[in-house]
Amino acid sequence: MILQIIISGITMGCIYAMVGFGFALVFNSSQIMNFAQGEFLMLGAMMHYTGTVVLKLPFIVSLFLSLVTIALVAVLIEALAINPLRKKGASIVMMVCSFISFSIIFKNLAEVIWGKYPLVIQGFFSQEIFNLGNSSIQSQSVAVIGAAVVSMFLLWYFFSKTMFGMALVASAFNPKMAHLCGVNVRGMIITSFILSGASSALAGVVVGPISFVSSFIGFDLGIKGFCAAAIGGMGSPVGAIIGGLLLGLLEAVLGVYISTAYSTIMAFIILLVVLYVRPQGILGVSSR
């Protein structure tokens, strides 16, 4: 029983972490919270539904198409929601408003295209549940955890081992210096949108079989991802992972012993507690 709770907690934690990671990436490169992040996840899941169910493409092809499409959507968002405002010298608050507008547009557009009712997508494994001791584990959990570990590893490798990744982080630290080191800072911002879009779309594809797919999962999971990023310390990718796992585990435990009805409320109470104790988040750097 306890194993079952832990695994389901880690599973949802991985999803929150992947979305939170997207928040952290965009925040790092542009100092803006992308409230359309959750919609990337929702659109990723929807595209995968279209790919596998409507077009009957093989799983891998559909997954690939979904990641590429959402990465493009993310680039479009940067070009339409952020760059024009930045050029006009708009404040961060206005850019957040712009993101929120896009998030609502996406949600409603998805409702028009895919309908109001939850859709079912296939998991990675054909068998739905397997037994481990006396606990039964959802097989999709393995896919979720696997996807999270692989994508996190790739991103870690990219950021700490490649010159390109280092340059991306450097342009977030100090854009002027990055320019002077020959780094194309705008290109780096676009790259972080691509990575944040693709990682959230992957989260959508793997969470779909667990949560069902509908136009409103973007808001729900997006806001939890935001929570994860804020708990971990806005702008810290590792913090977002820790925040996500913490949130997933606490939610699973509280869900069993109190009620799942309180899960979103709990997420925000946890966020508030972390902010009261450590306003910069677990791994965040204090602005003072």
Residue ranges binding other proteins (CB under 8 A): 163, 166-167, 170, 173-174, 176-185
Q: Which is nearer to other proteins, 63 or 178 (CB)?
A: 178
- Buried/exposed code over 145-162 (b: 16+ C-beta within 10 A; e: otherwise): bebbeebbeebeeebeee
Q: How far is the CB of 89 from other proteins (least distance, A)?
A: 10
Nearest approach, Cβ of residue 186 and other proteins (Å): 8
Give the residue with the Cβ less far from other proteins, 89 or 133. Answer: 89
Alpha helical stretches, state H, 78-184: 83-87, 92-114, 139-161, 163-173, 175-180
- Give the contacts of 128 (CB within 8 A, at least 6 positions apart): 138, 139, 140
Q: Which is nearer to other proteins, 47 or 185 (CB)?
A: 185
Task: State in angstroms the smallest separation of the CB of 225 from other proteins.
Answer: 24
119 phi and psi angles, rounded to 5 deg: -105, 155
Nearer to other proteins, 31 or 184 (CB): 184
Residue 137 parent element (H or E):
strand 135-138
Question: Which structure tokens are listed for 253?
Answer: 């435990």
Report, in Å, the least distance between residue 83 CB and other proteins: 14
User: Among 14, 22, 24, which residue's Cα sits nearest to residue 230?
Assistant: 24
- Beta carbon nearer to other proteins, 116 or 179: 179
For 287, phi then psi, to 5°, come to -80, -15
Instruction: Supply the minimum distance, in Å, between the C-beta of residue 176 and other proteins.
Output: 6
Helix, strand, coil fractions of the chain, as percent rounded to 5: 75, 5, 20
Q: Which is nearer to other proteins, 50 or 236 (CB)?
A: 236
The single-letter DSSP state of residue 181 is T
The least CB distance from residue 27 to other proteins, in Å, is 16
For residue 6, the Cα-to-chain-centroid distance in whole angstroms is 21
